[in-house]
A and B are shown apart, each in its own frame.
Chain A
């Protein structure tokens, strides 16, 4: 046991003294988050410009226009024609075009079911698209509700995007935590294992009476603790610098972070086990982590990505960790709410560990 803690101390010293690793572990995720946050987080936050095309000049159009004017952070323009409005959208002068078609007032009066208003947005920018659609949809629905009493009578038509809320950063920050946990687990533990194997460290340790499991577990323990520190740091910066509200339980967040880190540490071991040398391992790690980084729903939601890619997304453990963290951190759900995400992460861990045990060689 003493040997174990001596190794924990050595591991911890090594992880602190390795400046490069420190950068990638703690600074890079924050840098990434900061960059994305500055570019996308505040880009439309303060001044979402909405063009309302009033083909119907009735009360509905008036109330809607007024409602948007009263919504903080929304600037309303009223171009003469739909063509003008769409040109402004293409030029980037406005981020959304809401059309109130002729006859809306009449249909609304007659109570002919839900009236849908065409809504155009720039879908070349998924994050802002989600944001503007969400804002517009909410305002329109609210106006419709208020005007008609209980049953929603008004909605926008192509509100196809379901976002995680108004704020891109609420979406981004838990995702960056998940991303950092993945990269750390895969590279720090898996990479280290291959290195130790190839450079003969494991061989040398095997020549002592100490069981190698002590060495591996000390390595994993230090890694899990650093995963917690890392998550806390990213969330703290998100909270202080980007005003992300941490709504959920910190304990639940920590539990999920450890489960997620464990899953990716297992993935790291699996990659280490099947790799002949450091070069192969590094290539494999990139092959595994790159698609997850971009398709795992970290930087932008994958819900509106093409259908054919959805099975790929669903096969990525990172997606479940990111979804779970968002559910806890932003939406304040408990662990029970995300039980399926947790179960899937544990199942992935089991698969990875099985591969690791099956293929691992001490030399």
Chain B
């Protein structure tokens, strides 16, 4: 099992060596950051290819935001180097900031400024004069064209995120960084935002995003770096990561009358089985199809009814669990408190840092 896990991590080491200057837009080399005694980022190396959607997946406190901030020129690393578009970020943070787009977690904007005015003044921060028409086109890209004359504090959570993504595009960046762009959004708003991000990427902008949603990484990212405790545990396409796990499918169901677990274990393709207290049976199957067919046959033979049948393939969540021994999002960890805990942690760090 362990062997399987390390395989994709090894693959990521290969990716570090840039194939050509134009192929990799970001190269991170042994980047390190301490906050007091805490090692937030532990000598990580990876590179991002031009034109891809690159995801950094990990739980709160894994070091995702710190990594991003060091690439963005917002936080000076203690060690290692990072180049963006061929330019060393340190000591050139200002030039790098001009070429990249940045969306930060939980940023408020100016009250009493209309959306298009905010974009105009931010364009000005990049030394760019934007006409209202240009700004309206940009707002249209993120689906906010009809809100051009609204104030930022009148927007819903999803709309506010779209605005902050528009801000990350205002300078026509070569690469844009999105820090947990969908955190705190409801599933519908999240999916809508994925479409926006795909469109941005389709128009040629490289996208680097962090997330602690496994689904987001799977659906959106060409490649994913799995981070935990400041280290990159694995880096590859979501598909390869899951396949590399060699994980089994998980079949859960209920029966109208109980059946001995041993009998279920004997079913074709099943490797382990378990009866849970709430009446659910859980089978791990090397071959889900065989397992389900033989389960149905057995049930029919004995005149049993099957309820709540569910078949789940392995996903990045399982990859993460296998590699780190803990879940990506703990079961008791609600969205709100988790997010605010992250914010609190950052501010404590900021205090220590300087």
Contacts and interface: CB of A to CB of B under 8 A. Distances in A.
A124 interface: no
B326 interface: no
A interface, by DSSP: helix, strand, loop or mixed?
A: helix
A200 B107 contact: yes
Contacts of A7: 121, 124
Contacts of B120: 6
Contact of A2 (B73, B105, B111, B124): B124
Interface stretch (B90-98, B138-146, B264-272): B90-98
B111 A200 contact: no
Contact of B117 (A13, A200, A203, A209): A13
Interface string B291-326: 000000000000000000000000000000000000
Given A3-B127, A210-B125, A204 B117 contact: no
Given A204-B104, A209-B95, A6 B124 contact: yes
Interface in B102-131: 102, 104-113, 117, 120-122, 124-127, 129
B97 A209 contact: yes
A110 interface: no
A13 B102 CA distance: 25
Interface in A326-363: 361, 363
Contacts of B109: 201, 204
A18 B125 contact: no
Nearest to A3: B124
Interface residues on A, range: 20 to 34
Contacts of A210: 124-126
Nearest to A215: B125
B347 interface: yes
Query: Which of A18, A207, A208, A361 has the largest number of chain B CB atoms within 10 A?
Result: A207
A207 B105 CA distance: 12
17 contacts: A3-B124, A14-B111, A14-B113, A18-B111, A200-B105, A200-B106, A201-B108, A204-B107, A204-B109, A205-B125, A206-B74, A208-B126, A209-B95, A209-B97, A209-B98, A209-B127, A361-B351
Given A14-B112, A207-B102, A210-B124, 18 more contacts: A2-B124, A3-B125, A7-B124, A10-B110, A200-B104, A201-B108, A203-B74, A203-B107, A204-B109, A204-B167, A205-B125, A207-B97, A208-B97, A208-B98, A209-B98, A209-B127, A210-B125, A210-B126
Interface of B: 72-74, 94-95, 97-98, 102, 104-113, 117, 120-122, 124-127, 129, 167, 347, 350-351, 354
4 closest cross-chain pairs (CB), A and B: A199-B108, A208-B125, A6-B124, A17-B112
Interface of A: 2-3, 6-7, 9-10, 13-14, 17-18, 199-201, 203-210, 361, 363
